[in-house]
Amino acid sequence: MSRPETGRKAPRSKGVDGWLLSAPALILLIVAASGPLLIVAIYSVLEKGDYSGVRWILSGEGWFRVLFERDIFDQTISLADANLSIFWRSIKLSIATTIITFGFGLPTAWFIATRPARSRAFWLFLITVPFWTNLLIRTFAIMEVIRNQGILNTFLTHFGLISEPIQILYTDTAVLIGMTYVYLPLMVLPLYAAIDRFDFRLIEAGYDLYASRWQVLRGVILPIIKPGIVAGSILVFIPSLGAYVTPRVLGGGKNMMIGNFIELQFGQGQNWPLGAALSTLLLLVVLVSLIVYTRVSSKDNTNG
């Protein structure tokens, strides 16, 4: 009768090994990412401190002041017009940035995808070059172009197209131009990835069926590259909504967006609960956007 082998460990399931291997990354994700977000969420339901910080007393004042304000004399409640104006400006500029980057990004991505295979890498390299430079430096570069004595106004004045400089800097238009320039590559790359997999024989089939160019674009090209459009829109809309540097430099102090408003509450405003509530609200908007993206993408996946 043979003796059982000693020193041999029972085999473990692959699931257990997978959890053990991913444990360091999960711990880091929970501590470094989820932990700060949880702290911000807790701060949003606490009472404002006397000078800064918070007092550990449950209060909904932070969330209340997101949309409403109280009169300092009779305590009447009214809508926070300044807050709503900032929210509307942020959403408006983010949507406009997404639309404009799509308008420029689609022809650019189509041009790159239709180049010979050996030259596509060069054009993609040019698209990614701006990422090599700090965001602040790129924003100051745009500032030098659109300021009153900048390149644009100097060019227009030199050729007699305008008699005096156009005031672009410190306006919503300046913020829109800056964000379009900064986030354009984030729209081009997903569109290129979608167009690169496009079967161009479908366009020929559309023309053979006497479809116009607009009908081919609307009925053939756009539906097929829809995942790239949605991905690019999400990649542009989300960072635009929380942008801080570009509105701060190009918009000045009076054309702030949500990111600048949040920084103001944690800084000069010394209202941490309100800043935390705004941060949490921004996070929820981003989460909803990602859920919409996931649902739209899942509809395009025939395998579910």
Each residue's pLDDT tens digit, 11-24: 555 667 777 888 88
Each residue's pLDDT tens digit, 114-164: 999 888 989 999 998 888 888 999 999 999 999 999 999 999 998 888 888
Span(s) in the chain for CATH 1.10.3720.10: 81-300
Tell me which long-range contacts 215-224 makes (C-beta under 8 A, separation of at least 24).
224/194, 224/198
Each residue's pLDDT tens digit, 266-288: 988 889 999 999 999 999 988 88
User: Rounded to an integer, what distance in angstroms lies between the CA atom of residue 290 and that of residue 292?
Assistant: 5
What is the distance between the terminal CA atoms of the chain, rounded to a whole angstrom? 55
Residue 133 φ/ψ, nearest 5 degrees: -110, 145
Residue 267 φ/ψ, nearest 5 degrees: -105, -100
Domain spanning 81-300: which superfamily?
MetI-like (1.10.3720.10)
User: Rounded to an integer, what distance in angstroms lies between the CA atom of residue 251 and that of residue 99?
Assistant: 20
Q: Which of 142, 141, 149, 140 is nearest to 167 (CA)?
A: 149
Q: State residue 299's pLDDT score.
A: 66
How big is the CA angle at 255 (ends 133 and 143), to the nearest 5 degrees? Answer: 35
User: Rounded to an integer, what distance in angstroms lies between the CA atom of residue 273 and that of residue 119?
Assistant: 53
